[in-house]
Amino acid sequence: MKKITVLGSLNADTILHIPHLPQQGETLAMDDASTAPGGKGANQAVAAKRLGADVNFIGAVGDDQNGQLLLDALQADGIDTAHVAELSGVATGAAYIMLEADSNNTILILGGANRQVNESNVAAADATIKASDVLIAQFETPMVATLSAFKAAKAADVMTVLNPAPATKDIPAELLALTDLVVPNETEAEIITGIPVTDDLSMESAAKRLQEMGAKNVIITVGERGSYFHMADGENGFVPALKVKAVDTTAAGDTFIGALTTKLDADMRNVEDAVRFANAAAAITVQGAGAQPSIPTLDQVNASRG
């Protein structure tokens, strides 16, 4: 069983079901509201666990009701939370997801305890990181912690996967140099590289730019269209997404990354097959509501692929 460690965020998601985004000054009635466990890091960990990996988590929650909700959710999926700190006097991270009738979403994040994750948390999990096959991180926790974790991972020849979200133009070159695989969506790729990702040529240009910035291998996800990969050895290609009726796209990208890392070999030679598997998992996620509640199991993904 592949061992995956996730350094990342835990958020209590409040999902606001709305007809459309309100204009400035507009009062708009919601159709519904619900709460579910989320956070990019937690979602990716849940996806990896449900799809067959042994998963450890590094992060932080507040010593509050939402923190306990999120810990309970991870533990219910069998994820090791020994390295999730419970901080007093700090609120657990939260996300407010405005889900429109057409299934698109807009998300506001309150970092809370996630912003307190630091090098000490990483140092405490050093042995866990070095015993892993893959380390995954995002940018909902401080970059200094991610850099420290990636240094530890590469010292032990552990594969590093970076989901640069929320995106920033100022990713340290040192971090990208330690990144084996970077996985942005098209919006994030544009923010980081300055290249609008609109067609095959621009996907290739953005991927090459990310490699010039230091990342070895690149996968750019482009929503309902699919995913483009460009590897260090020059191999590249596009894998179309499965056509499904989307209900809620929340956690689709997180499911993709969790699924991808469970299937991707250490040499990444099977990248196209791994992307196809990840696309299938994400396709199931968008057909359900909520982040973690919609993430599929391995049996569900295998059944969907025939």
Numbered residues of the known binding site: 11-13, 39-43, 140, 185, 221-226, 248, 250, 253-254, 279, 285, 288, 290, 294
Phi/psi at 34 (nearest 5 deg)?
-150, 165
- Alpha-carbon distances of 132 from 21, 53, 161, 253, rounded to whole Å: 42, 11, 12, 22
Radius of gyration of the chain (CA): 18
The vertex-33 CA angle with 59 and 35, nearest 5°, equals 25
Question: Which is catalytic among the residues 77, 180, 254, 267?
Answer: 254
Residues marked as binding for substrate? 11-13, 39-43, 140, 254
Q: What is the 3-state secondary structure (H, E, C) of 237-260?
A: EEEECCCCCCCCCCCHHHHHHHHH
Residue 199: exposed, middle, or buried by beta-carbon count in 10 A (0-12, 13-18, 19+)?
A: exposed
Residues marked as binding for ATP? 185, 221-226, 253-254, 279
Residues marked as binding for K(+)? 248, 250, 285, 288, 290, 294
Phi/psi at 243 (nearest 5 deg)?
-85, 115
Q: Which of 240, 243, 210 is nearest to 226 (CA)?
A: 240
118 CB-near residues (< 8 Å, 6+ apart): 142, 144, 145
Is 32 an annotated catalytic residue? no
How far the first Cα of the chain sits from its last, in Å, is 23
Alpha-carbon gap, residue 36 to 43, rounded angstroms: 11
Alpha-carbon gap, residue 292 to 189, rounded angstroms: 25
Q: Side by side, which strands form the sheet with 93-100? A: 32-38, 11-18, 93-100, 105-110
Torsion angle, CA of 122/212/40/127, rounded to 10 degrees?
-20
Q: Which of 56, 51, 6, 44 is nearest to 277 (CA)?
A: 51
- The residues annotated as belonging to the active site are 254
